[in-house]
Amino acid sequence: MFLPYLGGVDALLLLVIAMVLDACVGDSPWVARLLPTPTTLVARLTARLDRQLNRIDRSDATRRARGALLATALLLGALSLGLVLAFAFREIRWGAVPELLLLARSLSIRSAWTCLGHTLKALESGGIEAGREAVAPLTDRQTWSLDIHGVLRAGIEGAMLRLACGLAAPLFWYAVLGLPGLLGWAAIDGMAQVIAHDVPRFRQFGGMARQLRRLAGWPPMLLATLALLLAALFVPGSKALGGWRELATARRHPWGPLALPVAAAAGTLDLALAGPRREGEQVVKEPWLGRGRARANSRDLRAAMALYGITSLLLAGLIVSAGLIAGGLGL
């Protein structure tokens, strides 16, 4: 980690405080309205530009070129903004405060945890319709077609993706490249949420966004996967060895590196996640991750919540350890 560039131990301390802030108020609606996340802002901009640039009457080559130009421009813009902010925050008095707020809004810990809890309560008290509505913020699947097992699988799958993309990846890229890395990942993740789906509309236009997420996703997805496997040792009924074995099902999966933490979670819980999905009236036959049960139950969701919480604590502990080591080395 390039700790001298980041400001050494102070930067890692900011990261830990940001995690605590998000864990306390990260799911607050007024915070989301007042300070939308960088990923959300990029996703909104990408959706607007997609409507203007990704027109169905254009050729595949034109749509591919436009998508590549969009992805490159947004990534370079995010990296440049991060570099400017990094220098600006270090030159002004109390510059750590806006950097802390930006960090806290770039992480996602509490919202997925809260959504899992709401989904569990909704299924138990309101039935399948309430469960579909509660799980919707965690998944891009069409919830109207999900049965109770599908709702539970979608919640677990979405939480593990949020853990990897919303926590492990921002932590990793901020620790390596500071604010440019943090905002660069936000740009990649925001674009990918909108145009990286492997469906006819985005197959050409989202090609560059998919490749950027694959390239930037490998290191943090490996970090999240290892943390999940370690966390499984502390969750009753979970099997870390099973999670390790099921990593084989992530090989050549269309999700790329994002398949790794989901496969690990599926194996530890003896489930099959991902799999076929609906896109409009079309059924996309994606491979399953894990070779366990497709019939997830409420016990699996509770175990997934424990797995999610412990993994988050382990990632926080990793940052604290890095700070102590850096302090010991005088960085």
Q: Is the pLDDT of residue 82 over 60?
A: yes
Question: d(Cα 260, Cα 301) in Å, to the nearest integer?
Answer: 19
> 47-57 pLDDT, tens per residue?
999 999 998 88
Question: d(Cα 310, Cα 317) in Å, to the nearest integer?
Answer: 10
Under 8 Å CB-to-CB from 144, ≥6 apart: which residues? Answer: 132
Identify the domain containing residue 67 by its residue range: 8-329
> 199-234 pLDDT, tens per residue?
778 889 999 999 999 999 999 999 999 999 999 999
Of 182, 226, 199, which Cα lies nearest the Cα of 78? 182
Number of CB atoms found within 10 A of residue 204's CB: 20
Residue 190 lies in a domain: yes
Strand partners, 273: 289
How much is the average pLDDT of 83-107? 90
Residue 1 lies in a domain: no
Q: Is the pLDDT of residue 2 over 50?
A: no
What is the reported pLDDT for 25?
Answer: 84
C-alpha pair distances (Å), 257 with each of 169, 210, 211, 270, 290: 12, 11, 11, 20, 15
Q: What is the pTM of this model?
A: 0.90
Residue 2 lies in a domain: no
Number of domains the chain is built from: 1
What is the reported pLDDT for 323?
Answer: 63
> 111-145 pLDDT, tens per residue?
899 999 999 999 989 889 999 999 999 998 888 88
Rg over alpha carbons for the chain, rounded to the nearest Å, is: 20
